Amino acid sequence: MADARELEAKVTERMGSVRHKIVVLSGKGGVGKSTISVNLAAALADAGRRVGLLDVDVHGPSVPKLLGLEGRAVGVAEGGLMLPVEAAGLRVMSVGFLLQDAADAVIWRGPMKHTVIRQLLGETAWGELDYLVIDAPPGTGDEPLSVCQLLPDADGAIVVTTPQDASTANVRRSITFCDQLGMRVLGVVENMSGFVCPNCGERVDVFKSGGGRRLAEEAKVRFLGELPLDPAVVDSADSGSPFARRPGDSAAQRSFSAIVASVLGLTEPAGSPEARSGKDRLMRIAIPLAQGKLSQHFGHCEAFALVDVADGKISSREDVPAPEHEPGLLPRWLASKGAKVIIAGGMGARAQGLFAEQGIEVLVGAPPEAPEELVRSYLAGTLVTGDNACDH
C-alpha cells in the first residue's frame, strides 16, 4: 500500500483535473443531505457539466441506493486505479461499492477512514471533471475533516438543515466547523420545508418553517433556498432515479432548480468561460421594459420580456405585464415564471440579494436597447454593462 505522502500526491494529481469541488454537509442526520447531493450532481450533469459524485459516508453509504446502483462493483483502470461506476451521466464512487454485502458493518477508527478517503480521492480514475460533489456523513467528525483537509482548494460547502430548532442548532456547528477549517460556506439549504398539497395547493409547515433562513442570516452566509416535502422525492429515492430529472413542475422541482442555479452562479461567475459555455442549454431571460426597450428603473417598469433560449439561440419571446409594485414580490414572481437571468439597467442591492436567493443571475448597467439585441450580446459574451442606473 502506498504511504501517506504518495497517497496525498495522488490526491493532488487527480483533483488537479477537477475544476470545482463541492462538499455537502450537515450537523444532523436524517435531513436529506444525500438526497440533495445526488440531485445536485444529476442537475449539474443535465446542465451540461461533467460531474463526479463521491460518497464518503463510511458507516452508512446511501448514494448507491439513491441511484439504483446497489450490488455494483468498481472496475480497475490502467495503472491499477479504481474505475468509478458510470450511471445517470455521473461518475460515482462510494464505500458501498467496496463492501461484499450492503448489510456489512464497517467498524473503522479515524486513521483508517482517513486512509480510505485519500484512496477514494487519489486512486480513482475520475478523469476531467467540471464538478465533484462530495456527500459527507452527518456531524463534524473524521470523514468531513479528512475531506476538508485533503481539498483545501474546494469551492466550498453546502450545509443542509430542516426547519426545526433541534436541527438548526446542530447544523450551526457545521458552519463553525467550516469557519475553523477555512472552508467557504456556499450557503444553507432548508429541506423538508413545509408540505404543499398537490390537490389544493395549501401549505402545512410540518417541521415549522424559516429555520434555515434564520440560521443563514445569523451565520452571515447565503440562504440558497427551501425544499418542501414532496412524496415524489421519496418515490424517486426508493426507485433510484433523481427527482430533479422527473418531468413536471412541482414546488420541489422549482425550488431545487433555483438552488442549482445559485450554485452555478456562485461557482461560475457571470462572464466566465464556464458560464458562457453553459448558455447552449434551455434558459429564460427576463428584461424589464419601458416603451419596448430595457427600462432603466427596474421596479417601475411597464412589462417584462421573457426571452427563451435553446441551443444558444433565441427560440421565443413573451411580454407579460408587470405585477403591481410590492416589496419583495418581483423575485418570487419572476422565479415562478421560470426566469434564470435578469438583464437590468438599475437595481438596488437588496433586490439583487433577493434574486440571488431565488437562484436568478442579475446583470445591471445594461443599455436601453431592444430585448433580443441584449440577449444576443449576453449569449455571445459581448454585453457591455456600465454603472448601476438605479441603486436604491
Which range, of 64-78, 104-118, 137-151, 176-190, averages the lowest pLDDT?
104-118
Q: Do domains 4-267 and 279-380 have the same CATH topology?
A: no
Q: Is the domain defined by 279-380 classed in CATH 3.40.30.10? A: no
Domain 4-267: CATH architecture, name and number where available: 3-Layer(aba) Sandwich (3.40)
Query: Which residue type sits at 63?
Result: V
Global pTM value: 0.69
Say which residue, 260 or 157, is predicted with more confidence: 157
pLDDT of residue 279: 47
Domain ranges of the chain: 4-267, 279-380
Exposed e or buried b per residue across 151-186, where buried means at least 16 C-beta atoms within 10 angstroms of its C-beta: beebbbbbbbbbbbeebbebbbbbbebbeeeebebb
39-53, 197-211, 317-331: range with highest mean pLDDT: 39-53
pLDDT of residue 233: 86
Cell matching residue 287: 428584461
C-alpha dist (Å) from residue 30 to 35, 162, 342: 10, 9, 36
Mean pLDDT over each residue of the chain, to the nearest integer: 84
Report the percentage of the chain scoring pLDDT > 90. 31
How buried is residue 219: exposed, middle or buried, by Cβ count under 10 Å (0-12/13-18/19+)?
A: buried
pLDDT of residue 142: 78
Q: Give the mean pLDDT of 187-211.
A: 81
Say which residue, 90 or 315, is predicted with more confidence: 90
